[in-house]
Amino acid sequence: MTASNWNPAQYERFKAEREQPFHDLAALVRQDRPIRRAVDLGCGTGELTRRLHESLGCTETTGVDLSDTMLARAAAFVRQGLRFERSSIEAFAAQAPQGAYDLVFSNAALHWLDDHPALFAKLVRLLAPGGQLAVQMPAMHAFATHTLAAALAREAPFAAALHGYTGQSPVLAPEAYARLLYELGLREASVRLQVYGHELPDRAAVLEWVKGTTLTGYAERLAPDLFERFLKVYAERLLAALPDERPFFFPFKRILLAARKQA
């Protein structure tokens, strides 16, 4: 994921639905000690980074994202103690000072990165003693939106152009994260799978939703005309697979986790 295809306007079409998990994740952060330095990985437009910074009373918060279009929006939220940095999460995790952060936060971004055991180990190294890790990721890989895209990606002519990419999710089972956090020395862990029941106008709205997220991985790997063909077939199959109900009930699974490094 190069994050180059993020389109803030498309992403924000379902702003209200996407914000609730952010608030639920922020509520998992314990405020029994001051949170001075925080980092928001995959901060997007920075709007929620600003809310995090203000609600937790952080002294210094850094939002990290790779997308120029998302960061262009974030510029409006820069203020005393709140800055944004253009970097991949991988590079930031490798280069940031170890033990420097009281909070490593990431809402709806780490599911774009591979090898979570190695990634989480790097993120835990960024935490100061007593520091907290808080992460929210969609876990929709078994839903039609994802399985149909992956199946189509294996078909001609798309398979050759995608070079084996099928949007495979790196997201683990909740119990695997519980074990991983424990093995990385974190305690006071909360790991949960939550289903957010979104009420959308109709099943076509699901297509608009995934255009802003899941399909970006295909869009950036296919030439525009080939992506248009991909989208057309995908849309037909997706709409045929979903019930024709109004409103459309969209059960969206997410994993929320938070834990603390021992002081």
SS in 3 state form for the chain? Answer: CCCCCCCHHHHHHHHHHHHHHHHHHHHHCCCCCCCCEEEEECCCCCHHHHHHHHHHCCCEEEEEECCHHHHHHHHHHCECCEEEEECCHHHHHHHCCCCCEEEEEEECCHHHCCCHHHHHHHHHHCEEEEEEEEEEEECCCCCHHHHHHHHHHCCCCHHHHHCCCCCCCCCCCHHHHHHHHHHCCEEEEEEEEEEEEEEECCCHHHHHHHHCCCCHHHHCCCCHHHHHHHHHHHHHHHHHHCCCCCCEEEEEEEEEEEEEECC
State the residue number with the nearest CB to ligand SAM.
Answer: 44
Residues of span 196-235 touching ligand SAM by CB under 6 A: 213
In whole angstroms, the minimum distance from the beta carbon of 243 to ligand SAM comes to 26
Among 37, 62, 65, 145, which residue interacts with ligand SAM (rule: CB under 6 A)?
Answer: 65
Asked if residue 1 binds ligand SAM (CB under 6 A), the reply is yes
In whole angstroms, the minimum distance from the beta carbon of 201 to ligand SAM comes to 21
In whole angstroms, the minimum distance from the beta carbon of 64 to ligand SAM comes to 6
Among 14, 26, 42, 177, which residue interacts with ligand SAM (rule: CB under 6 A)?
Answer: 42
Q: Which is nearer to ligand SAM, 13 or 179 (CB)?
A: 13
- The mark string for 93-132 relative to ligand SAM (x by CB under 6 A, - otherwise) is --------------xxx--xx-------------------
Residues that bind ligand SAM (CB under 6 A): 1, 3, 6, 22, 42-44, 48, 65-67, 70, 88-90, 107-109, 112-113, 213
